Amino acid sequence: EPEVTQTPSHQVTQMGQEVILRCVPISNHLYFYWYRQILGQKVEFLVSFYNNEISEKSEIFDDQFSVERPDGSNFTLKIRSTKLEDSAMYFCASASVGNSPLHFGNGTRLTVT
């Protein structure tokens, strides 16, 4: 069964550094999403992306965050200058058409020290 793949599984970075989290969505999917989950808290929506532009973003998704689909297969989340509070699991998801379900990857654990 096709799946969403995320790399790396764990990323450790120092405060102030830039990080790029990578995702390979399911190949025929058109809608892409990033979520995060701080340890012990809810899964929170960050951003959705369709047709090469942001469809919707949350208050969390400020100017430090950006997303890109640089080629036909990858979908990336960049955090320009990481803060301690950015430490979380980051989940990528994709969906095909219409109101189809989102399919999630197994996440990247980001640790900011």
Partner 1 sequence: DAKTTQPPSMDCAEGRAANLPCNHSTISGNEYVYWYRQIHSQGPQYIIHGLKNNETNEMASLIITEDRKSSTLILPHATLRDTAVYYCIVRVKAAGNKLTFGGGTRVLVKP
Is residue 99 involved in binding partner 1 (CB under 8 A)? yes
From candidates 77, 107, 110, 112, binder to partner 1 by CB under 8 A: 107
User: N- to C-terminal Cα distance for the chain?
Assistant: 37
Q: Classify 72 as helix, strand or coil.
A: coil
Is residue 36 involved in binding partner 1 (CB under 8 A)? no
Buried b / exposed e across 16-52, counting CB within 10 Å, b at 16+? eeebebbbbbbeebebbbbbbeeeeeeebbbbbbeee
**Degrees (nearest 5) of the Cα angle 62, 40, 64?**
15
* Shortest distance, position 81 Cβ to partner 1, whole Å: 26
- Per-residue binding string, partner 1, 39-68, x by CB under 8 A, is ---xxxx--x-x----xx------------
* Shortest distance, position 16 Cβ to partner 1, whole Å: 26
Which span (12-20, 65-73, 76-84, 85-93) binds partner 1, by CB under 8 A?
A: 85-93
